[in-house]
Amino acid sequence: MNYDQRRAELADFLRTRRVALQPEEVGLPTRTSRRTPGLRREDVADLAGISACWYTRLEQARDIRVSDHVLNALAEALRLNAEEREHLLALASEDTRCSARVPTDGVPPALQRILDSQHPHPAFALGPRFNILAWNQARTDVYGDLNEIPAEHRHMLWLFFGGYMHELIQNWEQCARSVLAEFRAATGLYVHEPWFTSLVRDLSRNSTEFRNWWRQHEIEVRHAAARELRHPSAGRMVLEECALIVDDCSDRRIVLEIPQPGTGTERKLAELSCRSQSRSRSRSQPQSRSRSRSRAARTVPIHTPQEPVSWERRNHRF
């Protein structure tokens, strides 16, 4: 297996964490004459108890083996939190796990029933690549129908950085950065896979925000920000996310969006659900009349021309 990309990600992560630390934060004297930000490579090596030459090779993405003992020493030297430490270990790992073992679309019927049971609260299933595998009708009511966009864009990063949700989410920057940091934390084992490289390349070309924030290599395991929406018909709604891990070694998760108390969101979700059900009944009624006419036609041999149906395309949210 080719680990060049994983070593490059490891080198980038070490560098971004190093330049983010100031000497005084780790007990070193302040250097007023420094031309570069943060710690020097020599500083990190001294703090971790390893040679500066060897650490430099790590930041150069050289093909060298790193023990867990050294990685933990580097984590201490760079003042990494628990989430960042796990990410560091994942990038340095030789785990051969492959994200392709999970289908990129659809879920077992039982998982779909779980999603549907959350109505009128939005819910969806997320794969290890952060692609959306399935969703319930409530998510469609709030964000729009995902079937209306290309399958390759049914991905959390494309939804945020591809222009689909920018106007709908009022605190978009906070939520987008958080989702990006979650993606980075969750996909450390897959950075060498072709889909990962292609996704980062395409999003970097498409979005300036993604390109700039990707370079910062932020890590976050749990989405902490409440999502404030400005729905075109329901108005302001505030939703909080809760992710549940599917216990089948697939790295799939179910994401529930729970209305924040005191915001009126619960009532508005119920109203959106009622409207959606009403539209569904309206669409089914002409079909019922058509079936009645069809039965009548079998007894009365009269043929009438079928009227053309005109479809009105609406703007969808996602």
* pLDDT-derived band at 103, boundaries 50, 70, 90: low
Handedness of CA 114, 119, 121, 123 (dihedral sign): positive
* Position 101 pLDDT exceeds 90: no
Tokens for 97, please give them: 């796990």
* Position 94 pLDDT exceeds 50: yes
Which residue, among 1, 194, 226, has the nearest Cα to 95 in the 3D structure?
1
Rounded to two decimals, the pTM is: 0.80
Contacts of 56 (CB under 8 A, 6+ apart): 41, 45
* Position 303 pLDDT exceeds 50: no
φ, ψ of residue 244 in degrees (nearest 5): -115, 130
Which residue, among 145, 148, 146, 173, has the nearest Cα to 161 in the 3D structure?
173
The DSSP-derived string for 118-184 is TTTS-EEEE-TTSBEEEE-HHHHHHH--GGGS-GGG-BHHHHHHSSSSTTTBTTHHHHHHHHHHHHH
Question: Using one digit for the tens of pLDDT, what is the confidence trace for 43-56?
Answer: 999 999 999 999 99
Parts of the chain belonging to CATH 1.10.260.40: 4-96
* Position 276 pLDDT exceeds 50: yes
More confident residue, 251 or 217: 217
pLDDT recorded at residue 184: 93
- Examine residue 120 and say whether the peptide bond preceding it is cis (omega within 30 degrees of 0): yes
Please name the CATH architecture into which domain 4-96 falls: Orthogonal Bundle (1.10)
* Position 89 pLDDT exceeds 80: yes
Q: What is the mean pLDDT of the chain?
A: 84
d(CA 135, CA 156) in angstroms, rounded, equals 13
d(CA 278, CA 272) in angstroms, rounded, equals 10
d(CA 60, CA 39) in angstroms, rounded, equals 16
Q: If you average pLDDT over residues 221-237, what whole number do you get?
A: 87
Residue type, 284: S
* Position 177 pLDDT exceeds 70: yes
Parts of the chain belonging to CATH 3.30.450.180: 100-267
Strand 227-231 and strand 132-135: the pairing is: unpaired
* Position 305 pLDDT exceeds 60: no
pLDDT recorded at residue 96: 62
Q: If you average pLDDT over residues 40-68, what whole number do you get?
A: 92
pLDDT recorded at residue 115: 96
Please name the CATH architecture into which domain 100-267 falls: 2-Layer Sandwich (3.30)
Neighbours of 138 (CB within 10 A): 23
Lowest-confidence region among 148-152, 206-210, 211-215: 148-152
pLDDT recorded at residue 285: 67
